[in-house]
Chain A
Amino acid sequence: MEKRLSTPLSDGDIKQLEAGDKVLLNGVIYTGRDAAHKRLIETMEAGEELPVDFTGQIIYYVGPCPAKPGQPIGSAGPTTSGRMDPYTPAMLEAGLKGMIGKGNRSEQVKQEIAKHTAAYFLAIGGAGALLADRVQKAEVVAYPELGPEAIYRLEVEDFPVLVGVDAHGTDIYIEGRKAFAK
């Protein structure tokens, strides 16, 4: 069944999700990948204020292409999430409720997702042109010097994702594979 959710996400929103569910996301999501995560963690470790309040928010692991004139954003599909695993526990501690990416998460991250009543969403890797069509507005809100790795504030409409890891820690990659492994 397809579910529609708007950000910011509440614990109630998260608890109704099960691994494999199709979800259409609406509202504001933030981008952030390798370099931005490194800086966010360094900021937290230094005891300084983060450039964005991530309470109830979603981070999309993406480094988009430059926008053509008249478009809000260029191609914008997910990058491999596992590289953000070392940073994820601290981000969840800071109030983050959701992450969008592709690929496997570590056991530790899955446990932290369950502990914080959060969710890991999957977008289709390599579908950057289609996914860009669901972004209505994009503006850089932190670290512009990082280019494609800057933090963007995106406004999305019916952005299509699947629940990859739900608040029970159930992982769709493990479940999905079971039926087809010989």
Chain B
Amino acid sequence: MREVDVSYVTEAIRDLSIEANYYLPEDVMSALKEAREREESEAGAAALDMIIENAETAAGEKMPICQDTGSAVVFLEVGQDVHFTGGDLVEAVNEGVRQGYEEGYLRKSMTVDPFKRDNTGDNTPAIIYTDIVPGEQVKITLAPKGGGSENMSVARGLTPADGMEGVKDFVVDVVDKAGSNPCPPIIVGVGVGSTFDKAAQLAKKSLLRPVGAPHSADHIAQLEKETLEAVNNLGIGPQGLGGKTTALAVHIEPHSSHIASLLAAVNIQCHAARHSETVI
């Protein structure tokens, strides 16, 4: 067994909050640049130029890529041989968010209540997912998630007969209705199978994959490819101004399913696809 003081978790979360919001991951930057090379729409290409320049400016000036510095979505993979000491794990995560969002001059975007809408003032609470895994390490991933793209996300119960074609049509329908709202070019995360809640979680987790990395199963990778093509044929384009690049990638995470069900969830990620991780 390994003892881990929760103050290390707080420090890690603080640093990840700032790092994720200032520095766009390399794979996202490469995908944007490749899209820029391919884009035939003049307005779309100009939008991509500005998006790329913005990410470079943010990194250079150490400021947030986007003013929506997001809900702090935190994935914890905790080794089962870890024993946390020194306090409450959830409070340690929230303290890290509190410190990071204050010290990094990040926007505080969380409300106390969904209806009363008063701001909590420190961007807590974090949205936390915890998986217990073998080993004695703690892997922490922080993904700031903007509201504009999250609002366009949808889960739906399809029938087993709808199959792969049904899932593809569902994804295209969600992206079509979202239009320019989620800040395209987007990354489309799709969870298929399991239950209503789990499908949505899988969709979100699929967004952590390197952009465009295909699923290991051939039939899923093929569905990703076909769905991406269909999505890009919508013509929405960068920022919705028209063009070939509506999405940079479609990531699909399949899961075992109840014999009666084919749940599917689409989680849309804007072009500021931010996430950082560390291991304690």
A positions within 8 Å CB-CB of B: 20, 34-35, 62-68, 74-77, 79-80, 82, 102-104, 122, 124-130, 132-133, 146-149, 160, 162, 172-173, 175-182
Contacts and interface: CB of A to CB of B under 8 A. Distances in A.
B148 A130 contact: no
A126 B108 CA distance: 17
Given A65-B106, A80-B148, A128 B239 contact: no
Given A74-B105, A126-B272, 18 more contacts: A66-B105, A67-B105, A74-B67, A75-B66, A77-B66, A104-B181, A124-B47, A124-B51, A125-B148, A126-B270, A129-B54, A147-B121, A149-B119, A176-B43, A178-B242, A180-B235, A180-B242, A181-B233
Interface residues of B, number: 49
A125 B50 CA distance: 10
A75 B151 CA distance: 21
14 contacts: A65-B63, A65-B105, A75-B63, A75-B67, A79-B68, A79-B148, A103-B181, A103-B240, A104-B179, A128-B58, A130-B54, A177-B236, A180-B237, A181-B235
B109 interface: yes
B249 to A, nearest CB: 17
Nearest to A35: B117
Nearest to A176: B242
A125 B179 CA distance: 13
A127 B50 contact: yes
A129 B63 contact: yes
Contacts of A175: 242
A173 B106 contact: no
A63 to B, nearest CB: 6
Given A103-B148, A125-B148, A63 B180 contact: no
Contacts of A130: 50, 53-54, 57
A176 B67 contact: no
Given A77-B67, A102-B180, A181-B233, A173 B240 contact: yes
A65 B69 contact: yes
A74 B61 contact: no
Nearest to A83: B151
Most B CB atoms within 10 A — which of A80, A147, A149, A182? A80
Contacts of A176: 41, 43-44, 237, 240-243
Contacts of A77: 66-68
Contacts of A67: 105
B54 A128 contact: yes
Contacts of B151: 80
Nearest to A180: B235
B50 A124 contact: yes
A68 B63 contact: yes
Contacts of A80: 147-148, 151, 181
B154 interface: no
Given A64-B107, A75-B63, A79-B68, A126 B183 contact: yes
B2 to A, nearest CB: 37
Interface string B43-83: 11001001101110110010111111100000000000000
A126 B235 contact: no
Given A66-B107, A75-B67, A77-B66, A173 B241 contact: yes
B67 A122 contact: no
B36 interface: no
A159 B270 CA distance: 23
